[in-house]
Structure 1
Amino acid sequence: MYSFILGAGNGLINDYLNKKFPWSEATTKRAVISIVSILIANTVMVYFCNYMNFVVFQKAATTEEYFSGKYGFVNWFTINIALLISAFLHAKGFMEELKKTSKKEVVEQKLIAKSANAQFESLKNQLDPHFLFNSLNVLSSLIDENPKQAQKFTASMSKIYRYVLEQKDKELVTVEDELEFAKTYCDLLKTRFEDSVDFVFDVKKDDYRRFVVPLSLQLLLENCIKHNFATSSKPLVIKIFSENDTLCIENNLQVREQIKESSGIGLSNIVQRYSLLTKRNVFIEKSEDYFKVKLPVLSSRPNAVSILPETKNESYEKAQKRVKEIKSFYGNLISYCLIIPFLIIVNIMTSPGDLWFIYPMLGWGIGLAAHGMGVFGVGKKWEDKKIREILEKQNKR
């Protein structure tokens, strides 16, 4: 009777709570509900079992005697045994749920990482043919207009294309390197358009060691030329300058009619690559007089800026640490449920007039409660908040 009622009863409670309040979705709520439910349920089941045993089966006491407190110690001792059984069942359920959740998170993160990498590689692979196609179009025009300039353009293009091949596989490059490349590319554009296009560079020296996505300036310069007409009487003025932690590319609007629809590779490519690297956005401003694109300038290459989320090893280490915390708490709880009843028995047998077991029971109980609150999330939000604040301060330095 004891085995069936206490074992099956606690098992049913644990299964029901697993369905209604899974550990992975509401850890703190589940812990509180579990503690309250097992205390109430085990008290009721123990009183019922002892009543059936002593009153119904053995007829050792009447109902009035049973509820008068005569069997208080027996009930208290049996309740501790029942709580020990329940603690094992809940610990087993938690471990199984944690194991499933950890495996699921690792698989999801691996899929996210693979997807992000594939997307990033796809975006980078657009740059190579895109640049080559546009450069060959310029060269084709120069061959008819100015063969000597075409030869010079070909030599310069090989130098620039080398940079494209070197940088396109990088996530970020320094502003200094990107500016040097942009100036060389502007020289090519000057070769073709001469005084129809003017370039103004005004970037702060402090920004030179910061970072932008590679080939972003070249793609935006291409857009300026592609979507605007430029003549000697109405030159196209393109400015590249610093503004509030951004690198700005601005041109006066002289919109030309598009013969064919734009492929949209340039600007969308930059926006997507930035979205994979940082939470900061690329801003676009347009008025009747000018068109401006603001590229976020990143201070460093922090780990948080990586396109790869948490790795499998990091997830496993976190899960392993969490399991150790839970095992420590349940080990503490089981020790409490075993040792305190033993101390009570020793106390009653040796000196029933002096109930000294109350002091270790209360002291250890308070410590156990504090341990449980720490493990199951009470106060964790405050700790996590402080950790995030410290990390953000360190990243800003």
Structure 2
Amino acid sequence: MYRMDFKDVRKQATISLWISFGTGLFFFTFFTDEKSVNNLLISFLVSSIYSFVFVFGNFYTNCYLNSKYSWIDDTRTRIILGIVATIFVNIILVLFCNYLNFIVLQKNSPDHFFTGQMGFVNWVIINIALLVSAIIHAKGFMEEWKKSSRKEVVEQKLIAKSANAQFESLKNQLDPHFLFNSLNVLSALIDENPNQAQRFTASMSKIYRYVLEQKDKELVTVEEEIEFAKTYCNLLKTRFEDSVSFDFNVNETALKSYVVPLSLQLLLENCIKHNFATSSKPLHIKIYSENGFLFIENNLQQREQVKESAGIGLSNIVQRYSLLTKQNVFIEKSDDFFKVKIPMLTKKITAMTTQPTKESISYQRAAKRVDELKGFYSNLISYCLVIPFLLFINLYTSPKHLWFYWPMLGWGFGLSIHALKTFGIGKNWEEKQIQKILDRENSKK
């Protein structure tokens, strides 16, 4: 909420002084017949009364409304109360200043204060005051929205930087993780079968090149990942021979989709790590596609004693997907099998734009709302500027034929429709209908 301080008061006082000086000099130069120091001082005094009363009257009204209702959180209430308060306060201020000017200072009769020339002057000055106040309200609204937009942009940048940093951290785990586990396999092979260890070393160099090439990418095609997984499976077969079997069944359409890089390698490694495999009880691993997901399934032959895991493999995939999309990674375990299914994404886009966050959606809606309100206020300010000018031209050129009513009423009707569309029934009705359609579509699923 808004808080008024001494700087704001001093700023309003400075504005009032400049307005007093400018308007006083203007009226003294063009509307005062006798040019004297006394009349100049009177002109400045009258201008000061109007400027200080109007500026501080509207200033304190705005401060009070801003302290109760936020332009951002209570936009509609703030605008409606602002319009009502502006009309009421400015009418009171105009009548007060005109009474001091015409009745107290100029010593005119109060009997004709609301009629004749004084009544006309009251009406003109009220319109001018409402115009100035509308501009001040529009300026205050725009400043609040700009502050909110800048804050939203900063928050979005912080979210993006945080997510990207987290994503990079997760990807950087892959390089040493793969190397560490591959060296463990190689170490075991050196003792078991030195010839296989040599072939394993040659294959590992090719695979490690792929790891280095792909680990910095956010997404790779399923086809690339499957080809790499097959090469990695051949490497595993080098060590386990007929103790492990692999079955690939991924349809052609799925090959064009995208997954996070090295996800299959991590999941295959997870199968080997947590299950025992022998010739009599081989480990069967299936990789297949179904309903937009890529499945990695194995028969459950869980090791009785497993060294405490570093938690990099499966958790790494889950976390990387959470930064890329709202689609979840699913894990299913029974007495007979262990299954992981990862979503296949249909569009290769960056981590920060794969799925819009609540913050980005709110920002887009706020930006759209600002455009709507800017359009309405531009229309309102134009109306307040043009109609009084047309009225002046009408009364000055042909006071007996009041033609200014036609543009005033026609434009006023259009302005009312614009106001209803921006703040009133039309907008609510449209949003309710959209929500009904969305609810109906969701209920069919």
- TM-score bucket of the superposed structures, by smaller chain: 0.7 to 0.9
Q: Which amino acid aligns with 1:162?
A: R
Establish whether residue 263 from structure 1 lines up as the match of residue 310 from structure 2. yes
Q: Report the counterpart of residue 251 of structure 2 in structure 1.
A: 204
Deviation at 1:105, TM superposition (A): 2.7
Task: State the distance in 1 between where 2:327 and 2:364 align.
Answer: 30
Task: State the distance in 2 between where 1:56 and 1:304 align.
Answer: 71
Establish whether residue 114 from structure 1 lines up as the match of residue 151 from structure 2. no
Q: Report the counterpart of residue 313 of structure 1 in structure 2.
A: none
Q: Cα gap change, 1:224/1:300 in structure 2, threshold over 3 Å: closer, same or farther?
A: same
Q: Cα gap change, 1:381/1:165 in structure 2, threshold over 3 Å: closer, same or farther?
A: farther
Which range is displaced more, 147-156 or 362-371?
A: 362-371
Percent identity of the aligned residues? Answer: 68
Task: State the distance in 2 between where 1:256 and 1:317 align.
Answer: 51
Per-residue deviation, residues 307-333 of structure 1 (Å, max 9, x unmatched): 7989xxxxx999999888766654543
Q: Report the counterpart of residue 203 of structure 2 in structure 1.
A: 156
> Equivalent residues in 2 for 1:224-243 (5 A)?
224-243=271-290
Pick one of 45, 50, 53 that aligns with 1:2: 50
Q: Cα gap change, 1:77/1:303 in structure 2, threshold over 3 Å: closer, same or farther?
A: farther
Pick one of 371, 381, 388 that aligns with 1:341: 388
Task: State the distance in 1 between where 2:231 and 2:364 align.
Answer: 48
**Contact 1:22/1:30, CA 8 A, preserved across alignment:** yes
Q: Cα gap change, 1:331/1:80 in structure 2, threshold over 3 Å: closer, same or farther?
A: same
Q: Report the counterpart of residue 40 of structure 1 in structure 2.
A: 88
**Contact 2:394/2:403, CA 8 A, preserved across alignment:** yes
Length-normalised TM-score, structure 1: 0.84
**Contact 1:7/1:85, CA 8 A, preserved across alignment:** no
**Contact 1:113/1:307, CA 8 A, preserved across alignment:** no
Deviation at 1:79, TM superposition (A): 1.3
**Contact 1:112/1:309, CA 8 A, preserved across alignment:** no
**Contact 2:324/2:355, CA 8 A, preserved across alignment:** no
Deviation at 1:184, TM superposition (A): 0.8
Per-residue deviation, residues 58-108 of structure 1 (Å, max 9, x unmatched): 554446x65689855333212111112212322332333233233323322
Deviation at 1:253, TM superposition (A): 1.1
**Contact 2:286/2:296, CA 8 A, preserved across alignment:** yes
Q: Report the counterpart of residue 127 of structure 1 in structure 2.
A: 174
Per-residue deviation, residues 240-285 of structure 1 (Å, max 9, x unmatched): 1111100011111111123421111101100111111111111111
**Contact 2:87/2:130, CA 8 A, preserved across alignment:** yes
**Contact 2:218/2:350, CA 8 A, preserved across alignment:** no
Task: State the distance in 2 between where 1:53 and 1:172 align.
Answer: 75
Q: Cα gap change, 1:373/1:272 in structure 2, threshold over 3 Å: closer, same or farther?
A: farther
Q: Cα gap change, 1:69/1:220 in structure 2, threshold over 3 Å: closer, same or farther?
A: farther
Which range is displaced more, 50-59 or 143-152?
A: 50-59
Task: State the distance in 1 between where 2:166 and 2:136 align.
Answer: 45
What's the RMSD between the two structures over aligned residues? 3.4
Per-residue deviation, residues 38-67 of structure 1 (Å, max 9, x unmatched): 12222232233334545555554446x656
Q: Which amino acid aligns with 1:151?
A: Q
Pick one of 278, 284, 294 that aligns with 2:325: 278
Pick one of 146, 150, 165 that aligns with 2:193: 146
Q: Report the counterpart of residue 395 of structure 1 in structure 2.
A: none
Length-normalised TM-score, structure 2: 0.76
Task: State the distance in 2 between where 1:149 and 1:135 align.
Answer: 14
**Contact 2:220/2:259, CA 8 A, preserved across alignment:** yes
How many residues are paired up?
Answer: 381
Q: Which amino acid aligns with 1:132?
A: L
Q: Report the counterpart of residue 392 of structure 1 in structure 2.
A: none
- Segments of structure 2 that go 5 or more residues without pairing to the other structure are 1-48, 358-362, 438-445
Secondary structure in 2 matching 1:137: helix
Which range is displaced more, 363-372 or 271-280?
A: 363-372
Deviation at 1:380, TM superposition (A): 9.7
Task: State the distance in 1 between where 2:245 and 2:100 align.
Answer: 99
Q: Which amino acid aligns with 2:173?
A: Q
Q: Cα gap change, 1:217/1:198 in structure 2, threshold over 3 Å: closer, same or farther?
A: same
Q: Report the counterpart of residue 10 of structure 2 in structure 1.
A: none
Task: State the distance in 2 between where 1:120 and 1:381 align.
Answer: 42
Secondary structure in 1 matching 2:332: strand
Q: Report the counterpart of residue 20 of structure 1 in structure 2.
A: 68
Q: Which amino acid aligns with 1:147?
A: P
Task: State the distance in 1 between where 2:269 and 2:429 align.
Answer: 48
Task: State the distance in 1 between where 2:140 and 2:388 align.
Answer: 25
Q: Which amino acid aligns with 1:30?
A: R
Q: Cα gap change, 1:22/1:161 in structure 2, threshold over 3 Å: closer, same or farther?
A: same
Secondary structure in 2 matching 1:77: helix
**Contact 1:278/1:305, CA 8 A, preserved across alignment:** no
Task: State the distance in 2 between where 1:295 and 1:29 align.
Answer: 47
> Equivalent residues in 2 for 1:205-220 (5 A)?
205-220=252-267
Q: Which amino acid aligns with 2:161?
A: K
Per-residue deviation, residues 108-137 of structure 1 (Å, max 9, x unmatched): 222222212211111001000111111111
Establish whether residue 166 from structure 1 lines up as the match of residue 166 from structure 2. no
Secondary structure in 1 matching 2:73: coil
Q: Report the counterpart of residue 80 of structure 1 in structure 2.
A: 127
Task: State the distance in 2 between where 1:275 and 1:213 align.
Answer: 11
Q: Report the counterpart of residue 178 of structure 1 in structure 2.
A: 225
Task: State the distance in 2 between where 1:42 and 1:55 align.
Answer: 19
- Segments of structure 1 that go 5 or more residues without pairing to the other structure are 311-315, 390-397
Deviation at 1:352, TM superposition (A): 4.8
Establish whether residue 300 from structure 1 lines up as the match of residue 347 from structure 2. yes
